[in-house]
Amino acid sequence: MSETEVNKTDVDLNSLRALVYKYASYLLDYPYEKRVKTLKEQVSDFIELLSLLREKGYEIEFNSSKLFKITEEIEKLGLEEFQAEYVSLFEVGYPKPKCPPFEREYLNSQEKDDLKFLAELVNYYSRYGVVTQKEAPDYLIVELEFMYYLIAKEMETKEQCYKKAQLEFLERMLKWIENFYRCVKRKSRVKGYANILKVFLKFMKKDHEFLLKEVS
């Protein structure tokens, strides 16, 4: 795999799990020209990770051609128009984008104190040695990277606290990611991001089952 750190002949489950979160963050991030140049390779790697996970017992159904839809749409629309679609979907709009990729946007009314919510999330990250800088702490890409980090720290330290944190944080993410996916599916003019999110959600639910068994 182009950017992975795993040996294809002898890959452990935690390495695969970590890399799925990492690749999801690549595929759902802003489509900069440099990133788009390697997008087909990234999608191929993502598909291979999912296939390897199936061999490890994660029963995740997916259609490879639908995952490659995002690359087809970029070629059809052209990079600038595709980037404009990304911006209108996730970044800019009045009074807000169509589908803002921030956890706070999908909270119920009882949890809607944004400043308190964000401060608590920053404190949560700091408990595990993570400091957020430029991006909002509840930004989808930041949360995906944090899951990658927790798995990597568990692999490095062998400490169970990181496994428990993975379960806790994944349960947090599952409370809003599905609604975010539904928004993207309903409002996006392109289908590629919804296709990726659909499969990633299937992975998250299987990962949750795995973590429940590991932590109990």
Average pLDDT for consecutive 10-residue bins of the chain (216 residues)? 45 94 96 94 96 94 95 95 95 88 82 79 94 90 97 95 97 95 95 97 97 92
Confirm whether 1 is domain-assigned: no
Confirm whether 133 is domain-assigned: yes
pLDDT, tens only, 183-208? 999 999 999 999 999 999 999 999 99
Confirm whether 127 is domain-assigned: yes
Confirm whether 3 is domain-assigned: no
pLDDT, tens only, 23-32? 999 999 999 9
Give residue 164's domain range.
13-215
Confirm whether 8 is domain-assigned: no
Report the CATH number that the domain containing residue 20 is assigned in CATH: 1.10.3480.10
Query: Distances from the Cα of 157 to the Cαs of 20, 52, 165, 188, in angstroms?
Result: 20, 24, 14, 41
Q: Is 102 helix (H, G, I), strand (E, B) or coil?
A: strand
Confirm whether 7 is domain-assigned: no
The predicted structure's pLDDT at residue 109: 59
Whether the CB-CB separation of 87 and 189 falls below 8 Å is answered with: no
Q: Which positions ≥6 away from 22 have C-beta within 8 Å?
A: 144, 145, 148
Confirm whether 163 is domain-assigned: yes
Structure tokens at 123: 């404190």
Specify the number of domains making up the chain. 1
